[in-house]
Structures are given as C-alpha cells and as structure tokens.
C-alpha cells in the first residue's frame, strides 16, 4: 500500500504536534487530503517558506526573517525598556494584549535542572550586553508565575544586579474577571499581601 506509507508518515508527524494525538492527526490528514487545493498545498508551501526564511532575531531571540526582527528594528518602539519573556509564545501574548511598547528579550526557556536546562542555555549574556548597548533603564521580568518561572526570574535579577538597571516583575493577584471562589490559595495569598489602598 504505497499511498498508505506516505499518509502514515504524515499522520505520524502530525501526531507529534502538541494538542494532536494519533486519532486527531488522522482526522486532520484526511481533512487536508479532501481540501487538497485550498488547504493541503497552501500549508505545504507555507511550511516550506517559514522553514526557509524564519530564524531567531540575533538581538532578542524573537522570530524573524532577517538578522534583526521587526520589533528590534522598529523606530516606533520605546527604547530603554526590555521585557524579558521565556518564549516567543509569551512575546506573542504580550503583543496581542498591545500593552507593552518597548522591546523584548526571549530567554529561550526557564532554569530546569531536571530537564538539564542550566543558566548557559538561557540567553542571559546577550541580555547583559543589550542593557549597556541600548541604554536600558528598566528590565521587566515577564516570566510565568510558576516555580520554574520565578526561580529563573530570581536568577536573572541576580545576574543583572551589577548593571544597576531597574528590575521589575509582573504584579501578581486576582485576574480580571476572576472569582475568588475559583482561585487557588497561592493567588489569594499574593493578592492579599499585595493589597492596595482603595
């Protein structure tokens, strides 16, 4: 069954995507084959294009088609302010929210001894270089509010201390629309201890 060999291989690759298992990969592949001209071929083309052109920005680690990404390259972004994120997905989340107008620095992960991710695997030296080179006055650590994220935040803060730059972190508390009854104890404790005058 020669048709099946390629299709099986395709299903195998699709099943390795996060959020897809063997069953949904099969459905997705059949869907693509049925929509050959409108979906399968455009998808193949776009994947090839992205694979050929997209790489990491040499400055911040964001995805880019050139050496320097559009955000680092933009004259419209506020200078002197760097938001440190773990991953490009987090950078996208910040951009979607349209609340930050400075530049980013993608660490490329969090410290995780169990996964064998140490300080050398994160892009911290480059961040230190940028603080001097770009005249940065504040670094915002926008890392996930998880144990790994916060451990990494502390480590980065320590590493940046000698530069004298102001370092801040995202506020923790009750999310907008959050109902107290559904919040975990940690969030309630953080929200209470960081309470503000009304």
Residues found near a copy of itself in the complex (CB under 8 A): 1-4, 6-7, 9-10, 13-14, 16-20, 24, 26-33, 36, 39-51, 53-54, 63-66, 69-71, 87-89, 92
Considering the complex, state which of residue 23 and residue 189 has its C-beta at the smaller distance from a copy of itself: 23
Shortest distance, position 4 Cβ to a copy of itself, whole Å: 7
Shortest distance, position 191 Cβ to a copy of itself, whole Å: 26
- Of 158, 164, 162, nearest to 135 by C-alpha is 164
Considering the complex, state which of residue 87 and residue 138 has its C-beta at the smaller distance from a copy of itself: 87
Shortest distance, position 140 Cβ to a copy of itself, whole Å: 21
C-alpha dist (Å) from residue 123 to 58, 62, 83, 127, 135: 11, 12, 13, 7, 18
Considering the complex, state which of residue 92 and residue 146 has its C-beta at the smaller distance from a copy of itself: 92
Which of 138-159 are b and which e, b meaning 16 or more Cβ less than 10 Å from the residue's Cβ? ebbbbbbeeebbbebbeebbee
Considering the complex, state which of residue 19 and residue 177 has its C-beta at the smaller distance from a copy of itself: 19
Considering the complex, state which of residue 62 and residue 152 has its C-beta at the smaller distance from a copy of itself: 62
Shortest distance, position 77 Cβ to a copy of itself, whole Å: 12
Based on its alpha-carbon atoms, the radius of gyration of the chain, rounded to whole angstroms, reads 21
Shortest distance, position 114 Cβ to a copy of itself, whole Å: 19
Query: Maximum CA pair distance of the chain?
Result: 71
């Amino acid at each position: 069954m020669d048709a099946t060999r390629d299709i099986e291989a395709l299903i195998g690759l699709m099943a390795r995507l996060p959020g897809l298992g063997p069953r949904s990969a099969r459905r997705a592949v059949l869907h693509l084959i049925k929509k050959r001209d409108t979906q399968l071929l455009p998808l193949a083309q776009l994947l090839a294009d992205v694979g050929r052109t997209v790489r990491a920005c040499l400055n911040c680690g964001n995805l880019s088609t050139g050496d320097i990404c559009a955000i680092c390259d933009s004259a419209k972004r506020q200078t002197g302010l760097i938001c440190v994120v773990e991953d490009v997905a987090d950078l996208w989340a910040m951009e979607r929210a349209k609340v930050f107008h400075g530049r980013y620095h993608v660490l490329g992960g969090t410290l995780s001894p169990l996964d064998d991710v140490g300080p050398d695997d994160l892009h911290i030296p480059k961040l230190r270089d940028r603080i001097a080179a770009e005249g940065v006055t504040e670094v915002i650590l926008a890392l996930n509010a998880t144990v790994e994220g916060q451990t990494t935040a502390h480590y980065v803060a320590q590493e940046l201390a000698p530069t004298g730059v102001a370092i801040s972190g995202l506020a923790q508390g009750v999310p907008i629309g959050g109902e107290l009854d559904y919040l975990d104890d940690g969030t309630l404790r953080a929200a209470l201890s960081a309470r503000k005058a009304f």
